Structure 1
Amino acid sequence: MTSLSAHLRATLSLGLPLIGGMLAQIAITVTDTVMMGWYGVPELAAVALGGSYFHVVLILGMGFGLAVMPMVAAAAANDDRRQVRRITRMGLWIALIFSALVMPLFVFSGTILRTLGQSEEIATMGEIYLRIAGWGIAPAVVMTVLRSHLSALDHARVVLYAVLAGACLNAGLNWLLIFGNLGAPELGIAGAAYASIGTQALIALVLALHAGLHRDLKQDTLFARFWRPDWEAFAQVFRLGWPIALTLLSESGLFMATMVMMGWLGPNPLAAHGIALQICSVTFMVHIGLSQAATVRAGRAWGTGDVENLRLAAIAALILSGAMVALTILGFVLIPEALIGLFLDPGDPLRPEILALGASLLIVAALFQLADAGQVMALGLLRGTQDTRVPMIYALISYWLLGLPAAWVIGFPLGFEGPGIWWGLVVGLAFAAGLMMTRFWRGPARRPVGAAPA
């Protein structure tokens, strides 16, 4: 049995590159938000809404990519490289099929946004963004599969480097295409969308080249005879992946619903919501990176039948996540206006209103940091033990039967508006965290490894 201190070191060793990769990934979205904030508040609101829309669609496809991680980790722990290849290859198949099926959601995004009650101006600008950015869904989902594959095989550092390169490319393309610098056309919202496509394509290409050509991974021959189907492996990935996809969709759908509700309050509250959500997303990436490290560590222990190390891996991941929660709460409570102000032009006349509202939202966000971290860490551990269906049900109940109604009631009938909508997020996330943590500690962490989930 490995000691807790050894588990802490191992989790950090695997988790730091994953955290860095997730932070670099969110830096791409934050860059879009900051630069659009400098360009104009209506454009900022439209890109915030369009980015959330894109993320909801992406998150559904990511579920199948994330299913690859624990399956590859378990196969690698048993030195079954053939199974590693089969799982990842069919994960890529599902990613490409999914991308083709969801393209109409981007083509008709304007109609969908209007149906959701958005103003004509915001819906029109959002459609401009999404009709272009939608072409990046395929490389984005493929990137998720490859990231899972490489992380499970201890090649997380290349993910960090690829995403950092993508973040730099995105910032440069935004500077050129949003504002029309160095003789480039000034494309505004469309420029941000084109920059996103280029960024996602670059990251996916770098990861694919590493997976196919690195000396330690050549034996997997990941892309050899890629066109040949493997329906057994396809079904395995799909069975594990669809509950993950719906779990992620239920959570991201809750956040998208709150974005729509903020849009009912007007473009300025929507812009403040978008900024506050971006800040929360940055801190949340740390927990996602740790959650993915927990998935790999739990997957290896589960694959080899080691319950005691499964428990220690979970404790180590939770300790590290809890430390980050404490730091985040301090930042949100002590300097909320300074954080919001980073996203706004100092000379914008709307700055004081957006600054005040955004700061009030961050105060509420400080309170749900613990719940948000708890639910994502529990999900990572449950995925590592390939337990995904009951957590999906927990997520649907927590976010849609409790969180969403609470957001509407507190925000509108009770009259708390923006902060009230965010209190609904607290309700949903806290309930999900409690259910999922209980599920792990009373289930996989206690029963014999390999037993079927209840």
Structure 2
Amino acid sequence: MERIAQSYPEHIRAVAKLGLPLILSNVAQFAIHMTDTIMLGWYNVTALAASTIAGTMLFVVFIVGAGFAQAVTPLVASAAEEGDETQVRRVTRMGLWLSIFYGLAVTVPFFWAKDILIAIGQDADVAQLAHYYLQITIWQMIPALIVMTLKSFLSALEHISVLLWATVGTAVMNGFVNYALIFGNWGAPELGIRGAAIASVTVTIVSVAILVGYTLRVLPQYQLFKNFLRSDREILNRVFRLGWPIGLTSLAEGGLFSASAVMMGWIGAIELAAHGIAIQLASLTFMVHIGFSQAATVRAGRALGRKDPVSLRRGGITAICMSGLFALVTSALFMLFPEFLVSLFVDPDEPARLTLVSVGAQLVVIAALFQIVDAAQVLALGLLRGLQDTAVPMVMATISYWVIGLPASYVLAFWFGYGAAGLWMGLVVGLAVASVLLMWRFWKQLFKQFQIT
């Protein structure tokens, strides 16, 4: 067991040891999506726009179900700190149950994806390509949720290296399959956006196989799949109660960006494609903050399990400062090199290249403004999840994103005529409000639970 009075350098080392592999794993996972965006951007702008809106729809649905998987982390971390292997198994098994049930329920509506996209005002050509993409990628929903649950289980037990290497391996695999199937290289058929979809499904299934195999071989003491079909109502309810607010919180934030993609589609296809590129860049840096947040959840959960408020407070400060420092660096890069970063995603021979790079660069500069507040709000969420506090943060996030952020985006973009740039400025407002409210909630809960003076 850790010493109660760990120093800040010890916390830095502990957060780095846990957080760095998680960050690299998240970046590798994101590289799969980044590869799709880059290769489809080089294929043609319409395919890029279609994958942007289709990926947005899929992501919104996915992150709600991922809440059940994320609930596994603090519960397993706390149980592991107490040495309760049976509880670890029960929590993870019910997390897998909820993930599978959710995946089955949300698959059906995607068969009418084209009609849904046209109904929300998307271009007919973009909607048709997005429909092709979604008819394939929807089949990765259940495997992807299983992967999320197993990652939460392994993260809570601090078995991080397998997550990193499995994700790096599948990211490389995705690149090769994309290159073959999108463009028709190495004798493969040229499938365009369908090829990207097939690659995504393939690597997700491979990820499931790797994580299941590792769990069975390296962690047999947990007997994770023993009596898998046996129900456990008590733990099912507990995971559900903790997980649904996490899912809805993620929906509130992800939905904010998804709604912004829909509104960007109202402005034009070029703006939507530029939005997709800027989102990819902002999301890449966000993977680092998610890694710190995940590390904070694990360490907060373990500190809670051993009732150690000093480690909880110092660990929280450490993770927040480390994430904030990285945010300052990326903000500077976004401000200094916006055109160069956007140009990496666009074919030099693309007729709309100059316009696309110009619009995308504006959005990247604005993205620099919300690096710090975005880092702060996701770190606060991670710490609160470690404290198993998810319901009130869900309300705070929803108000910040949807009552304040989204209306601000609409007003700035359409009423004041600032277009794509105005739409993104509204996102900054919503994230800033969320960061203040959620940080305040964490410190209040810490002082309240442990009577810290």
> Normalising to structure 1: TM-score of the pair?
0.97
Structure-1 separation of matches of 2:65 and 2:130: 21
* Cα distance, 1:282 vs structure 2: 0.4
Give yes or no for the alignment of 1:170 onto 2:174. Answer: yes
- Give the equivalent residue in structure 1 for 2:245: 243
- Give the equivalent residue in structure 2 for 1:21: 25
- Give the equivalent residue in structure 1 for 2:343: 341
Letter in 2 for 1:114: I
* Cα distance, 1:377 vs structure 2: 0.3
Q: Partner of 1:347: helix, strand, or coil? A: coil
- Give the equivalent residue in structure 2 for 1:390: 392
Identity %: 50
Give yes or no for the alignment of 1:132 onto 2:150. Answer: no
Write out aligned runs for 1:236-275 (5 A).
236-275=238-277
Letter in 2 for 1:447: K
Give yes or no for the alignment of 1:435 onto 2:444. Answer: no
Write out aligned runs for 1:68-147 (5 A).
68-147=72-151
1:390-430, CA deviations, whole angstroms, 9 ceiling, x for partnerless residues? 00000111111111110000001100000100011001100
Q: Which segments of structure 1 move beyond 6 Å, counting only runs of 4 or more?
A: none
Which of 321, 324, 329 is 1:322 aligned to?
A: 324
Letter in 1 for 2:272: L
Contact persistence 1:302–1:450 (CA under 8 A) = no
* Cα distance, 1:228 vs structure 2: 1.2
1:34-78, CA deviations, whole angstroms, 9 ceiling, x for partnerless residues? 000110001110011111111111111111100000000000000
Give yes or no for the alignment of 1:198 onto 2:167. Answer: no
- Give the equivalent residue in structure 1 for 2:449: 448
Q: Partner of 1:447: helix, strand, or coil? A: helix
Contact persistence 1:273–1:361 (CA under 8 A) = yes
Can you give the 5+ residue segments of structure 1 that lack an aligned partner in the other structure? none
- Give the equivalent residue in structure 2 for 1:227: 229
Structure-2 separation of matches of 1:30 and 1:79: 40
1:80 to 1:313, Cα distance in 2 relative to 1, 3 A: same
- Give the equivalent residue in structure 1 for 2:421: 419
* Cα distance, 1:320 vs structure 2: 0.7
Q: Partner of 2:449: helix, strand, or coil? A: coil
- Give the equivalent residue in structure 2 for 1:42: 46
Letter in 1 for 2:419: E
Structure-1 separation of matches of 2:120 and 2:205: 30
- Give the equivalent residue in structure 1 for 2:304: 302
Structure-1 separation of matches of 2:144 and 2:450: 34
Structure-1 separation of matches of 2:331 and 2:148: 29
Q: Partner of 2:447: helix, strand, or coil? A: coil
Can you give the 5+ residue segments of structure 2 that lack an aligned partner in the other structure? none
Letter in 1 for 2:44: G
Structure-2 separation of matches of 1:204 and 1:12: 26
* Cα distance, 1:447 vs structure 2: 2.1
* Cα distance, 1:157 vs structure 2: 1.0
Letter in 2 for 1:358: G
Structure-2 separation of matches of 1:355 and 1:259: 17
* Cα distance, 1:449 vs structure 2: 4.2
Contact persistence 1:305–1:450 (CA under 8 A) = no
Write out aligned runs for 1:350-369 (5 A).
350-369=352-371
Contact persistence 1:302–1:449 (CA under 8 A) = no
- Give the equivalent residue in structure 1 for 2:159: 155
Answer with 182-191 or 373-382: which moved more.
182-191
Q: Partner of 1:177: helix, strand, or coil? A: helix
- Give the equivalent residue in structure 1 for 2:213: 209
Query: Please, what is the CA RMSD of the aligned residues?
Result: 1.1
Letter in 2 for 1:307: P
Q: Partner of 1:108: helix, strand, or coil? A: helix
Structure-1 separation of matches of 2:192 and 2:86: 47
